[in-house]
Amino acid sequence: MFCKARVATDGTHLERGELMKKRSALLAAAVLLGALLVPAAPVGAQSGDSLVTNGSPTGPFSANKQNEPAVAIDAAHPNVVVAGSNDNIDMEHCNAGTDNTCPFTDGVGVSGVYFSFDSGKTWVQPTYQGLTARNCVGAPGDNDPPCTPQIGPIGTLPNYNTHGLVSDGDPAVAFGPAPGPGGFSWDNGSRLYYANLTSNCGSPCGTGQAFKGFEAIAVSRTDDPQAAASGDNSAWMDPVIVSKQNSTLFSDKEQIWADNAASSPFFGNVYVCNAAFRSQELSPNAIAQPLMIATSRDGGDTWKTHQITAAAANSHTNHGFGSSGCTVRTDSHGVVYVFYYQFAVGFPGHGKQMVVVSRNGGRTWSRPHKVVDAVDLCNAFEPSIGRCVEDGVAGARDDLGPAPSVDIANGAPTGEGATNQIVDAWADGRDGLNHEHVMFTTSTDGGASWSAPRQIETPGDRGYYAAPSISPDGSTVYVVYNGWTTPFRDGTEGPGNARYLVGVVKQASVDTSTGAVGPFTEIHRSSGSPPGDARGSSQNNLAAEFLGDYVYSAATADYSVSVWNDVRNAADCPAIDTYRQQLHDYVVSGGKPAEAEEPGRNEDAPDDPTAPTPPPVEQVCPPNFGNSDIYAFSTAP
Residue ranges of the domains in the chain? 12-634
Q: Is residue 334 a contact partner of residue 264, using CB atoms and an 8 Å limit?
A: yes
Give pLDDT, residue 25. 34
User: What phi, psi does 579 have (nearest 5°)?
Assistant: -60, -45
Give the CATH number of domain 12-634.
2.120.10.10
Question: Tell me, what amino acid is at 319?
Answer: H
Q: How far apart are CA 438 and CA 461, in angstroms?
A: 9
CA atoms within 13 A on the CB side of 206: 6
Q: Is residue 549 a contact partner of residue 465, using CB atoms and an 8 Å limit?
A: yes
- Grade residue 37 by pLDDT with cuts at 50, 70 and 90: very low
Give pLDDT, residue 598. 77
Q: How far apart are CA 537 and CA 571, in angstroms?
A: 8
Q: Is residue 103 a contact partner of residue 602, using CB atoms and an 8 Å limit?
A: yes
Distances (CA, A) of 277 to 3, 214, 243, 289, 424: 11, 10, 12, 5, 26
Query: What integer is the mean pLDDT of 401-411?
Result: 97
- Grade residue 85 by pLDDT with cuts at 50, 70 and 90: very high
CA atoms within 13 A on the CB side of 539: 29
Residues 286-298 pLDDT 10s:
566 889 999 999 9
Whether the link from the prior residue into 413 is cis, omega within 30° of 0, is yes
Q: Is residue 271 a contact partner of residue 228, using CB atoms and an 8 Å limit?
A: no
Bridge-based pairing of strands 304-307 and 521-525 is unpaired
pLDDT of 4 strictly over 70? no
- Grade residue 527 by pLDDT with cuts at 50, 70 and 90: confident
Query: What integer is the mean pLDDT of 54-58?
Result: 96
DSSP β-bridge partners for residue 350? 375
- Grade residue 279 by pLDDT with cuts at 50, 70 and 90: low
- Grade residue 2 by pLDDT with cuts at 50, 70 and 90: very low
Query: What integer is the mean pLDDT of 129-148?
Result: 96
Task: Give the three-class secondary structure for 582.
Answer: helix
Sign of the dihedral defined by the CA atoms of residues 420, 306, 70, 522, in that order: negative
pLDDT of 98 strictly over 70? yes
Q: Is 434 left (phi over 0), alpha (psi -120 to 50) or beta?
A: left
Distance of CA 121 to the CA centre of its chain: 20
| Window from 206-210, 233-237, 475-479, 512-516 with minimum mean pLDDT | 206-210
The Cβ of residue 319 has, within 10 Å, a number of other Cβ atoms equal to: 22
Q: For residue 333, what are the contacts with CB-CB under 8 A and spacing of at least 6?
A: 263, 264, 265, 420
Distance of CA 266 to the CA centre of its chain: 27
CA atoms within 13 A on the CB side of 485: 14
DSSP β-bridge partners for residue 462? 484
- Grade residue 312 by pLDDT with cuts at 50, 70 and 90: low
Looking at per-residue pLDDT, the higher value among 608 and 94 belongs to 94
Q: What is the pTM of this model?
A: 0.91
| Window from 115-124, 317-326, 513-522, 567-576 with minimum mean pLDDT | 317-326
Query: What integer is the mean pLDDT of 80-91?
Result: 98
Distance of CA 440 to the CA centre of its chain: 20
Q: Is residue 448 a contact partner of residue 377, using CB atoms and an 8 Å limit?
A: no
Query: What integer is the mean pLDDT of 110-127?
Result: 98
CA atoms within 13 A on the CB side of 428: 26
Give pLDDT, residue 529. 81
Give per-residue burial for 533-569: e unless 16+ CB within 10 Å, then b: bbbbbbbbbbbbbbbbbbbbbbbbbebbbbbbbbbbb
CA atoms within 13 A on the CB side of 602: 11
pLDDT of 382 strictly over 90? yes
Which letter does DSSP use for residue 597 in this model? P
Give pLDDT, residue 589. 97
Q: Which helix (H) or strand (E) holds 20?
A: helix 18-24
Query: What integer is the mean pLDDT of 448-453?
Result: 98
| Window from 201-210, 426-435, 534-543 with minimum mean pLDDT | 201-210
Question: Tell me, what amino acid is at 315?
Answer: S
Query: What integer is the mean pLDDT of 262-286?
Result: 82
Give pLDDT, residue 287. 60
Looking at per-residue pLDDT, the higher value among 551 and 214 belongs to 551
Q: Which helix (H) or strand (E) holds 564?
A: strand 560-566
Q: How far apart are CA 622 and CA 42, in angstroms?
A: 27
Q: For residue 228, what are the contacts with CB-CB under 8 A and spacing of at least 6?
A: 113, 115, 126, 192, 222, 235, 236
Distances (CA, A) of 172 to 129, 216, 253, 363, 608: 22, 14, 9, 22, 38
- Grade residue 321 by pLDDT with cuts at 50, 70 and 90: low
User: What is the average pLDDT value for the chain, to the nearest integer?
Assistant: 90
Q: How far apart are CA 618 and CA 12, in angstroms?
A: 11
Q: By C-alpha distance, which of 216, 235, 120, 105 is closest to 170?
A: 216
Q: How far apart are CA 516 and CA 493, in angstroms?
A: 47
Q: By C-alpha distance, which of 415, 416, 391, 386 is closest to 401?
A: 391
CA trace torsion 78, 127, 192, 195 (10° rounding): 130
pLDDT of 34 strictly over 60? no
Question: Tell me, what amino acid is at 24?
Answer: S
Q: For residue 109, what are the contacts with CB-CB under 8 A and spacing of at least 6?
A: 90, 130, 131, 154, 156, 157, 160, 161, 166, 167, 168
pLDDT of 319 strictly over 70? no
- Grade residue 63 by pLDDT with cuts at 50, 70 and 90: very high
Q: Is residue 226 a contact partner of residue 36, using CB atoms and an 8 Å limit?
A: yes
As a whole number of Å, the CA-based R_g of the chain is: 22
